Structure 1
Amino acid sequence: MSDTVITSPESSSQPAPVRPKNRKRDQWIAFWLVPIFFNIFGIVFVPLSWMMPPRPPNSPTPAIVEFMQSHNLLIACAVLTLCFGLAPVSNAVYLIQIKRMSVSPVFRYSVMVGSMTGAIVGMLFPLFCFGIGAFRSGYDSSTLRMLYDFGYLAFIGSLGCFCVMWMAFGLAIILDTNNVLPKWLGYYTVWQYVSELIVAPVWISKSGPFAWNGLMTFWFAMALYVSWQIIVYVCIYRAIKNQRDDTLENAWLYDKPVPSDPRSKAIA
């Protein structure tokens, strides 16, 4: 007698697993949130509050008091508080690409911890310093001047965590044998990191090219960083686009077979 498989009607009506057309939708959502975050970040720091370009370290006390008690600073801090959570999304775009590389997890963890530290000192500290100064009108001029220095030195003079972060990112690209990102981007990243070391003198200089608003420590470093950041995201865009669907971490969720119905019976 030939073998016959009898399946219950209930199991035959079980729907097939949903296989989305775009399996990289989660990566694309994270990717496109990054320019949204940086645009909000730029609006908050430039036209809304005029924290950037940086005001001079040797500004007269009346000018510092007027700036620190500006009502626009409170609005800027409120907006920044709402979008602060997008910073980890931008860092996740880097981390998912490093995870695809044939390098030690230490590179991924270095970028992750460096980005966390950088978000605290480079965004959270200035947010509270400038926000606290504008929150209450009763602070004396010496307190406002201290918050003024704290905010700018935290934003511009805290590049140590970023140096470790970008060095790990650049070395990961150079050592990777999977060619997730182009090798030249790794060397460019390492060079960009070295150029950020010129910001260290902001803790010493109060005027000139090495002050926190100087030609070298702000304008030159910012021009390098912005151009590098644009190039990085173009390369990440291509890396996401060129990644095969079967190499996605969640590919097995889409390709696994429909589980059999326990009520099905095989009768010989």
Structure 2
Amino acid sequence: MRQDLYLRLERLSAWCGFILLVGFIAAFTAGHLLTPMSPTESPDGIVAFLNDHRTGILTCVVIMVLTVPFEYPYVVVTSLQMRRVEGGWGLLSMIQLTTGVVAPLGFFFPLAILAAAAYRPEIHSADVLSAMSDTFWLMLVGNACIFVLQVWSIGYASFVDHRSKPIFPRWYGWLSIVLGVLLIPGAFVYLHQSGPLAWDGLLANVIPTATYFVWKIATPIVLLRAVKQEETELAEKETVPEAHLATS
């Protein structure tokens, strides 16, 4: 592949991060899901929510189905930049790649369950719809830990990069480490129906979600800068042999 085409594909893959960010916000806004319902919401309240927001929820799922595939080029270009840190495919880049490939399932499966609940709510009892709603929120928030090793591997890569201008800035490395730590409380939503560790709680949902969106904004910016740096390094490598031939 031509070098200019390869770099262009890397840039497009980095821009996928912004597509994901916009898609996620649009989808969850359409579905009225940015603010989780209470884990103690009554079955009648859940049925009313599903009926009132049926079109929005199904639209949310459609947007996510169309958006989430952009996660794959975004994940791959991240690993390709980490590969530059390791000097080839290594433990960190492979951890990021494999966990990043699995991560979209954390959105697809819960949303499929919520879509099934909203698709024909009139044929299900309130108890069934409550169970489906609970499954959606428990999976969406509780399975966020799937991202922990992914973001930690990126963060650690920034710390072991000893070049004068690291591919991933140190501040971004710390942001990734902090995000990984903040995602851990999500695992405890299965034990709590109220308080900071419930699925609508401060520790399990609010703070991790806010940090995730900051990270989701920062990552494409960092990747675009990394691709630009890679382009400069490749150009310098081409210039050195040419200069050598000119002096020979």
Query: Normalised by the size of structure 1, how large is the TM-score?
Result: 0.77
CA offset digits 1:120-141 (Å, max 9, x no partner): 02x1112211111012231111
Query: What's the secondary structure of 1:149's corresponding residue?
Result: helix
Does residue 234 of the first structure (1) align with residue 216 of the second (2)? no
CA contact (8 A) 1:166 1:190 kept: yes
- Higher Cα radius of gyration: 1
From the superposition, tell whether residues 78 and 191 of structure 1 become closer, same or farther in structure 2 (CA, over 3 Å).
Answer: closer
Against the structure 1 CA distance between its residues 221 and 160, is the aligned structure 2 distance closer, same or farther, given a 3 Å change threshold? Answer: closer
Match of residue 39, structure 1, among 22, 28, 38 = 22
Would the alpha carbon gap of residues 141 and 186 (structure 1) be closer, same or farther in structure 2, given more than 3 Å must change? same
Amino acid corresponding to residue 160 of structure 1 in structure 2: C
Q: How far 1:23 moved relative to its partner?
A: 6.0
Between 174-183 and 134-143, the greater mean CA deviation after superposition: 174-183
Query: Structure 1 stretch 155-164 or stretch 179-188: which is displaced more?
Result: 179-188
Percent identity over paired residues? 21
Matches within 5 A, 1:100-179: 100-102=84-86, 105-121=90-106, 123-136=107-120, 137-178=122-163, 179=166
- The question of 1:54 aligning with 2:54 is answered no
Which of 181, 197, 214 aligns to 1:194? It is: 181
From the superposition, tell whether residues 134 and 189 of structure 1 become closer, same or farther in structure 2 (CA, over 3 Å). Answer: same
1:26 is aligned to: 9
Q: Residues of 2 paired with 1:153 and 1:120: CA distance?
A: 14
Displacement, 1:85? 1.5
- Check whether the contact 2:168–2:226 (CA below 8 A) recurs between aligned residues: yes
The alignment of Structure 1 onto Structure 2 pairs a total of residues equal to 231
Deviation readout 1:142-180 (Å, 9 max, x if unpaired): 111111011111111112221111111111221233422
Out of 233-242 and 205-214, give the one that drifted further. Answer: 233-242
In structure 2, the CA distance between the partners of 1:112 and 1:205, relative to structure 1 (3 Å rule), is: same
Which of the two has greater helix per residue? Answer: 2
- Does the aligned pair in 1 maintain the 2:16–2:71 contact within 8 Å? no
RMSD: 2.5
Residues in 1 aligned to 2:175 and 2:17: alpha-carbon distance in whole angstroms: 21
Query: Which has the bigger relative contact order, CA under 8 A and spacing at least 6?
Result: 1
Which amino acid letter does the alignment assign opposite residue 158 of structure 1? N
Aligned equivalents of 1:97 and 1:44: distance in 2?
29
Supply the distance in 2 between the matched residues of 1:234 and 1:194 (Cα, whole angstroms): 22
Letter in 2 for 1:167: W
In 1, Cα distance between equivalents of 2:147 and 2:76: 15
Gaps of 5+ in 2: 239-248
- 1:55-70 mapped onto 2 (5 Å cutoff): 55-69=37-51, 70=54
Contact 1:68 1:148 in 2 (8 A): no
